[in-house]
Amino acid sequence: MKILLAEDDSLLSEGLSQSLRQAGYAVDCMFKGSDADTALTTMNYDILILDLGLPKMSGLEVLRRLRARGNNMPVLILTAADSVEQRVQGLDAGADDYMAKPFDLKELEARVRALARRGTGGGASIWKHGPLTFDQVGRIAYINDDMLDLSAREVGLLEVLLQRVGRLVSKEQFVDHLCEWGEEVSNNAIEVYIHRLRKKIEVNGVRIATVRGLGYCLEKFVEKEATPDANANANT
C-alpha cells in the first residue's frame, strides 16, 4: 500500500515517513503543493496525507483538484491545532479525516489503517493463497495461522506478487512499487529481498518462480489431491 505524504515541515515529514515505513507502507514525500499535485496526476497512491498549509499551492487547492479529477482516494488532512476553519474547509473540500498538530504517531497510524479499510470497501482486505494469508490493511502475513516476521520491503514485495498471482512481475515493477522518488534500489537488492521472502513463505505448495532475465512470478496455488492410500486410511 502506497501513501503520498505532502508536508512542508521537513522534520515532521521525516518522522511521519519513517514511522509509516516501519509499519510496512511505501511512502513518497512532497514538500510543495504543486509537486504533490503533479505526483497525484502521474502516480497511483492508496492514501494521501495532506498538510493544508503547503507552499506554492495550498493543500486545499491540491485536494480540490484531486476530487475534481474524480479521484476518491482516502485523504487525511493535517491542520494547525487552533484552526477550526481550516478543518471545516478541508472536510467540505472532500477530506475523509483530519488531525490537528501536534498529534500522536500511534493515533495517526490507527487513522491511516481505518482509511485503508475504507478505501478497500469496508472491513480488512484479506488475501489468501493456499496456506498463506495476507492482511493488506494490517500489513501482516501468516502461514497456517503462524504470523511471519517480514520486513517492510518483504511485505511490499509480497503485496505486489499477490496482486499479480500467476503473472510475471519484473524487477523494475518491484522498484516502482517499493521505492520513494530519489531513492535508488538496485536489481541486486530486489534479488536479495526475494531470496529472503522465499525462505519465509515457500511451504506447502507456495512458490515464487524465477523467470530468468525477466522477473518473478507467484505461481497459482493448486490444492494437492488426497492420494488413494490416504483416502483408504481415512475410511478405515
Q: Is the pLDDT assigned to residue 75 strictly greater than 80?
A: yes
Q: Is the pLDDT assigned to residue 164 strictly greater than 70?
A: yes
**More confident site: 225 or 39:** 39
Amino acid (one-letter) located at 55: P
Least confident stretch, 16-25, 77-86, 144-153, 202-211 = 77-86
Question: How would you classify the pairing of strands 26-30 and 2-6?
Answer: parallel
Q: Is 79 helix (H, G, I), strand (E, B) or coil?
A: strand
**More confident site: 223 or 113:** 113
Q: What is the pLDDT of residue 218?
A: 92
Q: Is 34 helix (H, G, I), strand (E, B) or coil?
A: helix
Q: Is the pLDDT assigned to residue 179 strictly greater than 70?
A: no
Q: What pTM was estimated for this model as a whole?
A: 0.60
- Return the domain boundaries, the chain: 2-119, 126-218
Q: Is 60 helix (H, G, I), strand (E, B) or coil?
A: helix
Averaged pLDDT for residues 78-89 = 76
- The domain made up of 126-218 has a fold known as Arc Repressor Mutant, subunit A (1.10.10)
Q: Is the pLDDT assigned to residue 118 strictly greater than 80?
A: no
Q: Give Cα 2 distance to the centre of its chain.
A: 4
- The domain made up of 2-119 has a fold known as Rossmann fold (3.40.50)
State the Cα–Cα distance between residues 162 and 30, nearest whole angstrom: 28
